[in-house]
Amino acid sequence: MFILTATIHRRRLAAGLLALTVLCGGVWGLSETLSAPGEAVSALGGVTRLRNNEDRVAYLAGFGWEVTGEPVSVEELLVPEEFDESYDDYLALQSSQGFDLTACAGKRVKRYTYEITNYPSGETGVLASLLLFRSAVVGGEVYTTSLDGFMHGLAMPE
């Protein structure tokens, strides 16, 4: 039978615990960064994760939109590695809402598109799209595909 004894000085113990705390905090922060790059702060406050259809519909309702219960389309898109000048206006629109789509460069995102049923002008055929990366909202817009169409952010126009 062996008995092992050790003497630990309080300063060394405190320093070791402090180092362990800092290390754990760094690992946690890194895992958050890697798990969802490009997460944005939503208009509803805080980081927005939408895990199912009910969450997406509720998110749009937070902006005042009433939408069809199910998306009219769900697409998987590959965000380009590099953006050329043709993306400038779109990236500016996303940036104005607090989204940084460049953080998802080269990654696959899902676009959920819903039909809006309460557009203020009474116009029909208006769509709302949400871009999600691993359930985190990384972009979105409201638009119409008509010839004289428009596109704007998720906020309801005044």
pLDDT digits (tens, 9 = 90+) for 58-87: 999 999 999 999 999 999 999 999 999 999
pLDDT band at 3 (very low <50, low <70, confident <90, very high): confident
Residue 6 Cα distances to 3, 9, 13, 14, 17, angstroms = 10, 10, 12, 16, 17
pLDDT band at 2 (very low <50, low <70, confident <90, very high): confident
* Residue ranges covered by each domain of the chain: 39-152
Whether the per-residue pLDDT at 42 is higher than 80: the answer is no
Six-digit token pair at 28? Answer: 């946690």
For the chain, where are the E strands, in sequence order?
Answer: 73-78, 108-115, 126-133, 136-144, 151-152
What is the average pLDDT across 23-42?
43
Calpha distance 33→155 (Å, rounded): 27
Position 9 scores a pLDDT of 66
Calpha distance 157→120 (Å, rounded): 8
Calpha distance 60→54 (Å, rounded): 10
pTM: 0.70
